[in-house]
Amino acid sequence: MSTPSHPAYLDNAASTALVGQARAAMEAAWARPGNSSSLHGSGRRARRILEEARESIARDLGARPSEVIFTSGGTEADNLALKGVYAARRRDDDRRRKIVISAVEHHAILDPAQWLVDEAGAELVVLPVDEIGVVDVDALRDLLAADADSVAVISVMWANNEVGTVQPVAEVARLGADHGIPVHSDAIAAAGHLSVDFAASGLAALSIAGHKFGGPQGIGALLLRRDVACTPLLHGGGHERDLRSGTQDVPAAAGMAAALRWSVENRDEHAARVVALRERLRDVLVDVGGVRVNGAVGRPDAADALPGIVHVSFEGCEGDSLLMLLDAKGVECSTGSACTAGVAAASHVLLAMGLDMATARGSLRFSLAHDNDDDDVTAVADAIGEVVNRARAAGLLSAGSRTGGRR
């Protein structure tokens, strides 16, 4: 079976294609050398490009330019927010040991939170979610009413990167503000696709990554209010408000800003187009039979969901098998599971939503962007029936071999 020369790329939640505006901005920045910290003409030119990018990002996300701190990507932005704010808050008051996060956070939040538990004496509080992945705000309210003085930082993502469910971030931020606790949101899946206004949200900090909305990989930003104390993770030059030392990647910053500007300008048009494709794709997948649609997209009105994500579980299938069979037919998506040390593990997001292990492991995420079209959905429609049948047959054979053929 040969792979088509032009696969249907349906993994945009992992990384999007670089848009032309971003490429042009980066090429212009690359045209001449220059370190943005140098004082000569080339350095001042680089600094101007960097600061114009900072101002553009701030405008598009409802922030002040001085609140935009460039990082190497979303993971670094999340780590700086969680570790940096925790360290600063703990230094001011040793009682502040608790880190509060939702059960469906990305590993860029889960892992630094666990590191702080293991290495810095933190206590981790994980808020539960409902069956579509919405965080339990009442649980947070009860926690803060009982013991707000022990909480250092709260982090709840803006929208889930796996199932697309949008969180009540503004409500979480208000609760934090009522108790004087900084609230961070990983908005990496949301920026460029949803209306994100940092000032209006009431958040203390927010993370983005350029490659999620048509910008380059390897660049991101942490939006951090000026009144929020944060301990730097990197030292050695005092760049970015002395919070993120290191020579800034000026072309990447320019590319991210250009991509965000383009995404925001075209967001409504693109969202309408992508939602229409998403609904058709959802129908194609459900028609296979034995399929569960996960997250907010599974509701009839698909309210409070990212426009481009369809996350489904196939009864009697392994996600990894489905992924490889689809890839062989020219359809590229991702699984709802991760592979650690060669052993398939169900997604923590799906388990937190109440799915059983078998259902969680038989899941796929299809994620669309503005450059997908009906042909991509048709490619899925042409392949999915055969692929699911083969995966289910393989699952039955595997189950039979484990039981010696007994039923």
Q: Which residues does the annotation mark as catalytic?
A: 339
What region, left, alpha or beta, does residue 61 occupy, with left being phi > 0 and alpha being psi -120 to 50 degrees? alpha
What region, left, alpha or beta, does residue 341 occupy, with left being phi > 0 and alpha being psi -120 to 50 degrees? left
Listed in order, strand segments (DSSP E) in 47-97 are 68-71
Please give the Cα distance from 166 to 117 (Å, whole number): 27
Q: Any residues with CB less than 8 A from the CB of 318 and at least 6 apart, and which?
A: 344, 361, 362, 391, 394, 395
Please give the Cα distance from 275 to 302 (Å, whole number): 10
End-to-end, the C-alpha distance of the chain in Å comes to 33
Residue 263, CA distances (Å) to 190, 313, 369, 403 in order:
11, 30, 11, 53
Please give the Cα distance from 336 to 348 (Å, whole number): 9
Structure-token match 């409802």, residue found:
62
**CA nearest 53: which of 71, 70, 35, 76?**
70
Q: Any residues with CB less than 8 A from the CB of 16 and at least 6 apart, and which?
A: 211, 212, 213, 214, 369
Residue 151, CA distances (Å) to 19, 99, 144, 201, 282 in order:
41, 6, 8, 20, 41
Please give the Cα distance from 207 to 75 (Å, whole number): 9
The total of other beta-carbon atoms located within 10 Å of residue 268's CB is 10
SS3 label, residue 117: helix
Please give the Cα distance from 308 to 327 (Å, whole number): 20
